Structure 1
Amino acid sequence: MKTKQILSLVALSIVLFFQVSCSSNTDKKNESNKNELSGSISISGAFALYPMVVKWAEEFQKINPNVRIDVSAGGAGKGIADVLQNMVDIAMVSREIKVEEIQKGAWFIAVTKDAVVPVINASNPVFSEIQKKGITKTQLASLFTENKKITWGKIYSANNKSNINVYNRSDACGAGEMWAKFFNIKQEDLLGTGVFGDPGIADAVKNDINGIGYNNVIYAYDLKSRVLYPGLAIIPIDLNENGVLEPDENFYQNLDSITNAIRTNRYPSPPARELFLVTKGKTTNPIVLAFYNWILTDGQKYINEGGYVKLTDENIKSQIEKLK
């Protein structure tokens, strides 16, 4: 009798144990599901930031499989217009946020840094002289702001009489604004044949032996090889305007050398600048907040390989503080 009672008690204990255990596991699973991110966010804007944000989105979605992030490029102007009209959740902006945009509700964080560089065709007829002398800011300003024909021979005291063909961005973009700011003017004051987007400028210059334009760094250098795309070259800036390209001005050999020059402020700012993510009003969207926090922490490890420049530790801390 006692044996039967003992066995009954043991059996009851086992049943109760499994009930409690299953209940506990279910509670934990339910709690986990509550904390799991789920939903979607949309992002549009600057070509400059597009490749980096795509990479961040891919990696963030790997650890948050129930989150979908849609990213599209169309220029900083389109991105800021989209976000202020509630057409997207986040805008990618590659220039300073304007006062009037802030007044309309633009709220932003800096996430990385890059620069705009002048590009030419790799088969330029005076390429050897360009590599020796570079080009001064004054000469660049003349090309992009004066409505007159200028030959390569005139700039480099050569016999070449080919006119320089200038290409300019046709879209409202951060690259155009920063390139113009380098000359203390506005984007609408830049001259040249209008071409849409970074890829468009690069293609136009690669197809024109006498062409000159400007690109965000990431569209001039190949990420895998870290060298310039075939057919494209950087025209080095003679920063001290002494007519000679000195060693400390010549940092365009590969992607790592130019990003290091940006990081150490040897490349001028502008056209170097911070890149921003913008929402309309301070965001309370849990997916956006989680994405922002991840970008400013774990996501930073992808910046160097992505061809961008990390913000200083102090700046990153201040951006994280803005999210609180």
Structure 2
Amino acid sequence: MVKKFFALVLFSGLFIASCGSGGSEGNNEIKIDGSSTVFPITEAAAEEFRKEAPNVRVTVGVSGTGGGFQKFLRGETDINNASREIKPSEVKTAKENGIDYLRLSVAFDGLAVVVNPENDWVDHLTVEELKTIWEPSAQGEVTKWSDIRDEWPDKELHLFGPGVASGTYDYFTEAIVGESGASRGDFTASEDDNVLVQGVSTDDSALGFFGLAYYEENMNKLKLVPIENENGKVVKPTLETVSNNTYSPLSRPLFIYVRKEAAQRDNVQKFVNFYLDKAPMFSKQIGYVPMPDSAYKAQKQKFKTFHSQPDSTASAK
């Protein structure tokens, strides 16, 4: 399904990834950009929303969370898909640019750590071993599988991961290394998770990470690596382990950020409410974990309060 969503963006005239200069032109366009992880939910919502509001043109881009925030905080987009919370530096930019916004939670996701199916030596990894692999000091030092565990083969280690503008990269480095954005630099990076899937699936020395939905879409090409959590229990990411937080620390919430000026438009209000109503269904279809119904109701009330109030300082609440 994830591949289908990307194909729709690339080939359909209904969804145009480009977000040009300036905000939405007129009242009949909603511009969205940001996280590739949140993209499938948003794109599904946009596709279904067009059936109810065919005169509203919804465009959905995929610039990564960081790249999306750059556009959002320049006022070029109405909504930003985000797989992490807004950074302090981005909050500062929002204030400087007079951008007021609201963060809304839409689902939960787990990060999948994967290897090639031909890899017959890895049965699980610990958080400490992941840190050993990915921390900045590992560059030039941890280059073979035997550098991780002595009993593993003396084969080169080839790493694949999201680009540095990705919220998935930020979340993984914070959860594993202990500092957002801190990692070794000698890995194959891409904002397109399908590129990462292709890399790991064709290299028997590879290890990579990305959102769980992309593993589930390609599970016949990949081997999922269970992670030992802080309680010493080896856990695979599933809908259950993500929702009950036993797949720790690689479970996370997913967000959309709505710009205040845009939220005061009728078409954006209708779209966001439609999105929150349908998010549980879309999340399950794609492979993410929906929030409880009460949580979606709370998000809708928060959005109603937000767009009804006069402009104020930017808020992530």
- Place the TM-score, normalised by the shorter chain, in its bin: 0.7 to 0.9
Question: Aligned to 2:55, which of 60, 66, 85?
Answer: 66
What are the ranges of 5 or more consecutive residues in structure 2 without an aligned counterpart? 1-26, 305-317
Once the two structures are overlaid, the 10-residue window that deviates more, 190-199 or 57-66, is 190-199
Residue correspondence of structure 1 range 202-217 to structure 2 within 5 A: 202-217=197-212
Once the two structures are overlaid, the 10-residue window that deviates more, 113-122 or 173-182, is 113-122
Question: Aligned to 2:122, which of 111, 124, 130?
Answer: 130
1:199-248 CA deviation, whole Å, 9 max, x = no partner? Answer: 222222122211111111111112xxxxx433212211122586xxx6xx
Which residue in 1 is equivalent to 2:224? Answer: 234
Q: Does 1:276 align with 2:255?
A: yes
CA contact (8 A) 1:293 1:320 kept: yes
How far off its partner does 1:289 sit? 1.1
Question: Aligned to 2:66, which of 60, 69, 77?
Answer: 77
Residue correspondence of structure 1 range 253-272 to structure 2 within 5 A: 258-269=238-249, 271-272=250-251
What RMSD over aligned residues (CA atoms) do the two structures have, in Å? 2.1
CA, structure 1 residues 241+191, in 2 after alignment: closer, same or farther (shift >3 Å)?
farther
How far off its partner does 1:291 sit? 1.0
Which residue in 2 is equivalent to 1:117? Answer: 112
CA, structure 1 residues 165+182, in 2 after alignment: closer, same or farther (shift >3 Å)?
same
User: Highest Rg: 1 or 2?
Assistant: 1
What are the ranges of 5 or more consecutive residues in structure 1 without an aligned counterpart? 1-37, 223-227, 253-257
TM superposition score normalised by structure 2: 0.77
How far off its partner does 1:65 sit? 1.6
How far off its partner does 1:139 sit? 0.6
CA, structure 1 residues 159+313, in 2 after alignment: closer, same or farther (shift >3 Å)?
closer
2:165 partner letter: A
Which residue in 2 is equivalent to 1:297? Answer: 277
Which residue in 1 is equivalent to 2:287? Answer: 307
Q: Distance in 1 between matches of 2:168 and 2:32?
A: 18
How far off its partner does 1:150 sit? 4.2
Q: Distance in 2 between matches of 1:293 and 1:177?
A: 28
Q: How many residues align?
A: 266
Which residue in 2 is equivalent to 1:21? Answer: none
How far off its partner does 1:158 sit? 3.0
CA contact (8 A) 2:38 2:83 kept: yes
1:251 partner letter: K
Q: Percent identity?
A: 23
How far off its partner does 1:169 sit? 2.8
1:234 partner letter: L
How far off its partner does 1:54 sit? 1.0
1:233-280 CA deviation, whole Å, 9 max, x = no partner? Answer: 2211122586xxx6xx3435xxxxx122111111114x3211111133
